[in-house]
Amino acid sequence: MILNRASPQVQAKLRHELAQSAVARAVCETIDQSRDNFEISTDAVGLEARATDRLPSGLPNRGRIKIFSPRPGHTLIFFYKRSLVPYSRDRYSYGGVDLKDGELNPGDIAEWLAFVNSGFHPEKRPAHLRRAFPFEIPE
């Protein structure tokens, strides 16, 4: 479920991003059908969702998934956590998935979201995740 969907800024962001990306549409549909909670970031390039449910340890989940297209026909899914240092722009990468148009397997989306919701637990790592992700990731 997208907790902040009612926000006008989130609605505008979703309209814009979902019109441009079949992958973003599929991920949002899966989030909407999920019992796990996410919030959409309105100030990010591409579609970015943050897991909001607490981890089994009781700690807040800082996991994020970012979906963006560096060029037409090519979509990247990036998994990361932001730094806890308030003034830092650092991001801690947990890898990514590189997709060409038509390569999306709907079953993979559930793996991606489970990975984010687990706080990036190694046992939940998606099958096609690449640790070396040689792309510039926009903020």
Q: What are the boundaries of each domain within the chain? A: 8-124
Q: Where are the beta strands (DSSP E) in the chain?
A: 38-40, 47-51, 63-71, 74-82, 91-100
Place of tokens 């793996």: 111
pLDDT at 72: 84
pLDDT in tens, 27-82: 999 999 999 999 999 998 899 999 999 999 999 999 999 999 888 888 999 999 87
**Residue-level pLDDT at 90:** 57
Predicted local confidence at residue 71, as pLDDT: 82
Confidence of residue 133 (pLDDT cuts 50, 70, 90): low
The angle at the Cα of 80, spanning 79 to 85, to the nearest 5 degrees, equals 170
